[in-house]
Chains A and B, each alone.
Chain A
Amino acid sequence: MSTKSRIPEHLARGFIMMVEGGDTPAARIAIPTELTRLVGIPIASEGSFQIDPVVHECIRLFNAHYQGCEYCMNARAAGAVQSGLNESMVEKLQRFESSDLPEHIKAALRITNAVASGPATLSREIWEGARRHFSEEEVVDIVLLAVHTTGSKVTITLGLDPGKENSSRVFFPSEEVYGGSPELRRAVERMERDGLAVRESPQINYRVNTRNTRAK
């Protein structure tokens, strides 16, 4: 893996995760903000994944580490940290089977691991194990999120990982980088009505245990 660009600078310009715009080849293949939003913000807006925010973030972070995306593995979503995600849980994700993580998170990570390592290994047993904790629709969304988060392979392969210097913090859903679609706005308003912080706040005092890709 590489955090050093493997393509010429003039072609890479505009390829920054969660930022749209630009007409260079790399900018044209960047994951659009609206799609990134589905993965980056674990809130159930219309048309996005309908998964519990902590489960959502565990899936995203597991895959971030599996794919070796330093930027992704050091970002934390505000919705998740306010719903119970903590760094102790994050530390256990890569060894989830032998950990004391809750059983429903383990069930979701078995799917995520199968999708990342060899989707044919997603057995009926794994699926039905997840169904003991999640609805059929939620299990489908877990698979889709697991698939979607493998998209960082492009970033890693091209050497365009923005690195931990550009993340290593909590990301709030009202941030410009997530775009401004009406359904996102409605979801953020709902989140705020539920008493969650949607923008940086001194009440959210969360420290990320920074990791780098060589720690794999």
Chain B
Amino acid sequence: MSSTCSALYSDRERCCLEFAEQFVIQSSSIGDEEVARVQQVLEPEAFIYFVKALSVMDQLQRGCSAFDIQPSGAVPATMERFQPAPGPSP
């Protein structure tokens, strides 16, 4: 992924993507400086949910990769109340 230089991403998105990459590779190597950088573009509460979301996707992908399966394209029947997030404002 060339998110670090693509003009398709905002500075905020690039910062979060860099953090995501580090989280996936080795989260224990994330230093206070990296956390401070991402906290400049995310509020403290958003940062908490961001980290949790990274973990959920990280675990899902690790499981899918280990079992060599593709996640379903459909929302599981057990998630009746699932609502897709609203798209970006026009």
Using a CB–CB cutoff of 8 Å, the interface residues on chain A facing chain B are 1-2, 6-8, 11, 25-26, 29, 66-68, 111, 114-115, 119-120, 122, 140, 143-144, 146-148, 150-151, 153-154, 156-159, 213, 216
Bound CA–CA A215/B72 (angstroms): 41
- Which listed residue, A6, A122, A143, touches B32 by the CB 8 Å rule? A6
B55 touches A154 (CB 8 A): yes
Using a CB–CB cutoff of 8 Å, the interface residues on chain B facing chain A are 23, 27-30, 32, 35, 39, 44-45, 47-49, 51-52, 54-55, 58-59, 61-63, 65-67
A154 touches B67 (CB 8 A): no
Chain B residues near A6 (CB-CB < 8 A)? 32, 35, 39
Q: Which 7 A-B pairs have the closest CB atoms?
A: A68-B28, A119-B65, A153-B27, A29-B52, A1-B28, A119-B66, A25-B48
Q: State the main secondary structure of chain B at its contact with A.
A: helix
Chain B's nearest CB lies how many Å from the CB of A2? 6
B49 touches A29 (CB 8 A): yes
Chain A's nearest CB lies how many Å from the CB of B43? 10
Q: State the main secondary structure of chain A at its contact with B.
A: helix
A144 touches B63 (CB 8 A): yes
In the complex, residue of chain B having the shortest beta-carbon distance to the beta carbon of A158: B51
B67 touches A157 (CB 8 A): no
A153-B67 contact, Cβ under 8 Å, with A2-B32, A7-B47, A29-B48 = no
Chain A residues near B23 (CB-CB < 8 A)? 153, 157
B66 touches A147 (CB 8 A): yes
Chain B residues near A216 (CB-CB < 8 A)? 28
Chain B's nearest CB lies how many Å from the CB of A61? 15
B30 touches A150 (CB 8 A): no
Bound CA–CA A158/B47 (angstroms): 9
Known: A114-B66, A122-B66. 5 other contacts (CB 8 A): A6-B35, A25-B45, A26-B48, A150-B62, A157-B35
- Which listed residue, A1, A7, A26, A148, touches B59 by the CB 8 Å rule? A148
Chain A's nearest CB lies how many Å from the CB of B89? 24
Chain B residues near A114 (CB-CB < 8 A)? 66
- Which listed residue, A11, A147, A159, touches B63 by the CB 8 Å rule? A147
